[in-house]
Amino acid sequence: MLHPIESSAPGAVAARRSPSGAVPQQHDHLDDNPWHTGAACRSDEAGLFFAPSKEPTAARLAREEQAKRVCARCPVLLECREHALAQPEPYGVWGGLTAAERRVVLSRRRRRDGELREVRRVGVERRIAG
């Protein structure tokens, strides 16, 4: 079975189906990024990182916690997390975060970036008016 890091490799799309059966977009970029070769998840079952269809909530939470424990000992945790946020990866545990947790991070980043743009805009306007 494929692991989370390998699941973006060409031909691995079938292993990343959502519970609804949708196939996420395939990405070939990992072949150029050596960070994934040291990932702790490469020795674990991909089933730990991706939900089977119709998984009960208690089982999902337990599986995600187990996957996060693997991520916690991973030397490339931050690189994996940034990869998943940049794609964005819609399924599974990546970089110690679930898909829902990654959506929260992305939402916070967008809000922060918007606030920073507003602060810069106001600063520029004050300098011009000043």
pLDDT digits (tens, 9 = 90+) for 109-121: 999 988 888 888 8
> What tokens does 65 get?
């916690």
Which letter, b or e, does each residue of 25-50 get, where b requires 16 or more Cβ atoms within 10 Å of its Cβ? eebeebeeeeebeebbbeebebebbb
15-19, 88-92, 118-122: range with lowest mean pLDDT = 15-19
Is the model more confident about 1 or about 80? 80
**Average pLDDT for 45-67:** 92
* Global model pTM greater than 0.85: no
Is residue 30 scored above 60 in pLDDT?
no
